[in-house]
Amino acid sequence: MKKSRNARVNGVLGGLSEAMGIDPFWLRAIYGIVLALSVLTLQWWLTIIMVIICIVLATVMDKPDAGSGSTKPRDDTGGSQPAPERNRMTRSEINSLLERSVLVYVGPIAVLLIVYSILHFAGFHKMLANDAEAIGAVLGVFGGIYAVVWAFTIFLIWTQFSLVENLVLQEVSSLDDLARFSEEFGDERVSISSAIRQYIYAATAEWPNLAQQSISIKAEEMFSDVTRKTFAVTPKNPKQEMFYARLLEVVDRANTFRDERVAVSIKRMPPTLLTVLDLLALAALLCMFVLPIQHWLVGVLLLGILACLFALARYVMTDMDNPFAGSWNVSPQPFKDLVRKL
C-alpha cells in the first residue's frame, strides 16, 4: 500500500511537471517542504507562502534563455566565427549548481531545523534554562574564533584569486608584445603569430585541467613551440637585432608569467583548515539547540539565519578557492580577445 501511495505521488508530480514545464527535482523539493512544514507546525500561511516562493523560483529557473539561438556574428571576410563567450552561467549550469546546493547546504539546514523543532516541542530547550548566560558566552567565543579564522582564510584565497587574474592579464600582454615586435621580421612574423595563436587555443582549453589541479601537456608543448620559433629568428640588420633582443626578453617574461600562473593555480586550501571551520560552525549551531529560546518560531528563524550565514561563508570560501571553476572564476576571455587581434 505504501508503494502504491508513493507511485501515485510520483505520478501526480510527473503530471504537474509536464503541465507546468518544471523540472521534477523542484517539485519533489516543494513536496518535501510542504510535508515538513505541515508536520512540524500548524502555521498553514507559512506553508502556503513557502510553496508559492518555491514554485515561482522553480518556474523561473526552468525557463529557457531568451535569445539563446545559435546565431554567430560574421567577420570582415564574410565567414562566420563563434560568438564571444561571456563569463556567465547558462541555465543548465545554474540548475546544476542549485541542485548541488540543495544537496550540500539546503538539505542539511532543513534537517537541522526539523531536529531543532522536534527537540523544542519536546521541551529540550528548558533543560539548561539556568545556564543561558554561559551558553551565550560560549556561542560568542565560537563565533568569534570562526570569524577570525574565516577572515584570514578568505584574505589568502582572495589574494591568490587576484594574483591568478593579474598573471593571466600579464601573460596575455606579453604575448601581444611578442606578436607586435615580431612584425619587423617579415615571414618569421607569420610563424611566430601562428605559434602564439595555437598556444592560446591550448591555453584556453587548459582551464578544466587547472580546475582539476593538473597541467595540460599540449599547452606546454605549444608554448615551447612559441619559444623555439622566437629563438629561430635571424636578425639581418642592426634594427632587427634590437628588436630580436626585445623578443627574447618578452618571451622570457611570458614564460615566467605562465609558470607563476600554473604554480599558483594548482594550490588549494588545506583540508584541515576547512575541517576546523566546519567544526566551529557545528559547535556554534549546537549551542543554539540548548539556548533557552521560548518561542519556537524565533528559535527556528535565528537558527536558520545562522546556518545560512555559515553555509554562505563556506560556499564563498570553497568556490573562490578554485579560480577556474564555480560561480566566481577567472575568465579566459583575455586570451580569446588576443586571438581576434592577431
- Give the distance, in angstroms, between the CA of residue 143 and the centroid of all CA atoms in the same chain: 25
- Is 136 or 23 the better-scoring residue by pLDDT? 136
- Which range, of 72-86, 125-139, 264-278, averages the lowest pLDDT? 72-86
Q: CA separation (Å) from 6 to 2, 11, 25, 32, 312?
A: 6, 8, 15, 13, 34
Phi and psi angles of residue 69, each rounded to the nearest 5 degrees, phi first: -70, 180
- Going by C-beta distance under 8 Å and a sequence separation of 6 or more, which residues neighbour residue 95? 23, 61, 62
What stretches of the chain show up as alpha helix (H) in DSSP? 2-20, 24-40, 44-61, 91-101, 107-121, 132-181, 187-205, 207-211, 217-231, 238-265, 271-290, 296-320, 333-341
Flag whether the pTM goes above 0.95: no
Confidence grade of residue 199 (pLDDT, cut at 50, 70, 90): very high
Average confidence score pLDDT of the chain: 75
pLDDT bucket at 70, cuts 50 / 70 / 90: very low
For residues 16 and 3, what is the distance between their CA atoms, to the nearest angstrom?
20
Q: Which residues pair with residue 74 across a beta bridge?
A: 80
Asked if 161 and 316 count as a contact pair (C-beta separation under 8 A), the reply is no
Q: Is the pLDDT of residue 135 over 60?
A: yes
pLDDT computed for residue 133 by the predictor: 83
**Phi and psi at residue 73, to the nearest 5°:** -70, 150
The stretch 135-161 carries a mean pLDDT of 87
